[in-house]
Amino acid sequence: DGGITQSPKYLFRKEGQNVTLSCEQNLNHDAMYWYRQDPGQGLRLIYYSQIVNDFQKGDIAEGYSVSREKKESFPLTVTSAQKNPTAFYLCASNRVSTVAEAFFGQGTRLTVV
């Protein structure tokens, strides 16, 4: 059963803590993405990676970090430098093609307590 798996579904963080969101795909896609979703603001790109061991900043990368050590995995760390981390985080992937649609995971809702 192919797809993208994000975990956990819900995550609570205390202020000042780093947390890592997991994203795994078995679609054999080279490109992977992290988006942040806030009410009324649509999807904003945090980071993306088109190949293993390489990634680029998106529009709102400050306070976040990523790694791409394996093709299947693209974890996102929300650091204590992110001032307003409470949001819904979406991971996506697609094959490397201009015409390819992206496939999304089910999301992780992060709440700072």
Q: Rounded to an integer, what distance in angstroms lies between the CA atom of residue 44 and that of residue 14?
A: 23
The least distance separating another protein from the CB of residue 83, rounded to whole angstroms, comes to: 22
**What minimum distance in Å lies between the beta carbon of 33 and another protein?**
5
Question: CA-CA distances (angstroms) from residue 73 to 18, 45, 49, 87?
Answer: 19, 17, 10, 21
Nearer to another protein among residue 82 and residue 94 (C-beta): 94
* C-beta closer to another protein: residue 15 or 101: 101
43-51 vs 54-57, strand pairing mode: antiparallel
The answer to whether 9 and 106 are in contact (CB under 8 A) is yes
Query: Which is nearest to 102 in space by CA: 12, 25, 6, 32?
Result: 32
The 3-class SS string of 16-39 reads CCCEEEEEEECCCCCEEEEEEECC
Shortest spacing between CB 30 and another protein, in angstroms:
8
Give the residue with the Cβ less far from another protein, 19 or 90. Answer: 90
Question: Measured from the CB of residue 6, what is the shortest distance to another protein in angstroms?
Answer: 8
Of residues 61 and 80, the one with the C-beta less far from another protein: 61
Q: Which residues bind another protein (CB under 8 A)?
A: 4, 6, 31, 33, 35, 40-43, 45, 48, 50, 58, 88, 90, 92, 94, 96-107, 109
